[in-house]
Structure 1
């Protein structure tokens, strides 16, 4: 992500188009031409569109899950394929950030040293452990969702989980926080996003999922999916706020790696929260 954004000046294009294309260019492997001007305005526009790459990832995962169910694959194998698709389609950039943050926090080093550890290109055992545990929760949760009495309900939630996670991670880019460096990718995105955009995306994803669920599922199951998605988004936002505040206190601010860590962790939290709600509804 940061490798595609070296701060430059110049004239911006239309805000909507620039934000959407830049978010897809930075955060996926899609060959989309993003912004040609990189500054905090670019960062704000791209981060306001952060859930859009999540919708793309979710659509791919839902397609994989649908084909896997048709072919009779186990829920576990299907979940692994979905998570692998997410990582490949994002060049594994977010697990790289999670590993760096895991190494820094696990070191219990002083603030300046912790920042140096985040910048180190090598991954230690603590970072690898953070990645394995987080991906393990993602796979296990998706597997349980796909093993639900209603496979369609599970696929719907799998399809929106990446968007919910990126909506939640927008908290780290909100004006509640600041970058710990005056230069680099973090300085371009941290502290740029108004909180109202988090609320907008939460409402939009919940309503869209609820409408789709109403068309495809029975009444109680459709309600459970809608409530599960709403709760998953809210749970992800609350979790992201707690983790971002801890990182801000520990590091004296946030950076791009912190955003990657938030995305990976909130993916697990959003999906797990939705699973708890859906599993609380008896099978029809």
Structure 2
């Protein structure tokens, strides 16, 4: 598949811009770039990307709530955990036009090609899906649905919380991948627009807020559940960091496809951790 995140944007350095866009412009950037929800992007520049990528978890929160509502509704109407899980997995894909899944497939093909960076990037821009991409998509969707099915079988509340946490963590992984020092692999596309725009301090602050909120929301389920939810975020981010470092080393930077892969891998990891409880 092609890098569906690609859009016209100038080559970008990997350092945060000094200027900051307004919170409103940043939220519009986050929702307009990372979802299909109606949000008119008022600014497409690095200051807007700086604020927008720091706000990325907010987009994940909305996507997660909508997905959790669909799954919970099916359970209330008499559907089984597997059906609810399958629909829950489908909602985020629909709300992103499948771009994150597309990014996962393209990144898997690029990494699996064992070719130099330039050749691997060309493979990622091709319109077809290679064998590595197909296998990655099938396994990831199977694991996501299986993990959510187990969680829903325990209770719809846990399933809803897991869905929201996975969606927020997926976008938080994008925030961290946009931090200072992470270079773009190409001079165009989302990778160039957002690479290195978020100061490390801001990325750390957003991460701390998400981890603390994940634990606090799960407190009614017990102290062990609170610790598990916070741990799920941290383990998922660790998995995303491993993939990020691999991609930067392999492609000499990040692309929109890499961001999609990071989102899917971190969301899946979070669900697996929560399913083990």
Assess same fold via TM > 0.5: yes
Question: How many corresponding residue pairs?
Answer: 266
The answer to whether the aligner puts 1:261 opposite 2:261 as a matched pair is yes
The answer to whether the aligner puts 1:274 opposite 2:274 as a matched pair is yes
Match of 1:157 in 2: 162
Matches within 5 A, 1:1-284: 2=5, 5-7=7-9, 14-36=21-43, 38-148=44-154, 150-214=155-219, 217=220, 221-276=221-276, 279=277
C-alpha root-mean-square deviation of aligned residues, in Å? Answer: 2.0
* Other structure's SS at 2:222 match: helix
**C-alpha contact (below 8 Å) 1:228/1:275 kept by paired residues:** no
1: CA distance between counterparts of 2:151 and 2:202?
A: 28
Q: Which runs of 4+ in 1 moved over 4 A?
A: none
1: CA distance between counterparts of 2:133 and 2:265?
A: 13
Match of 1:282 in 2: none
* Distance verdict in 2 for CA 1:35–1:140, change over 3 Å: same
CA positional deviation for 1:13: 9.0
Which segments of 5 or more consecutive residues in structure 1 lack a partner in the other structure? 280-284
* Other structure's SS at 1:147 match: helix
* Distance verdict in 2 for CA 1:134–1:243, change over 3 Å: same
1: CA distance between counterparts of 2:262 and 2:235?
A: 13
CA positional deviation for 1:230: 0.8
**C-alpha contact (below 8 Å) 2:103/2:258 kept by paired residues:** yes
CA positional deviation for 1:73: 1.2
Q: TM-score, normalised by structure 2?
A: 0.88
Question: Could you tell which deviates more after superposition, 175-184 or 237-246?
Answer: 175-184
1: CA distance between counterparts of 2:148 and 2:206?
A: 22
Q: TM-score, normalised by structure 1?
A: 0.86
Which segments of 5 or more consecutive residues in structure 2 lack a partner in the other structure? 11-18
Match of 2:16 in 1: none
Question: Could you tell which deviates more after superposition, 79-88 or 57-66?
Answer: 57-66
* Other structure's SS at 1:109 match: coil
CA positional deviation for 1:204: 2.8
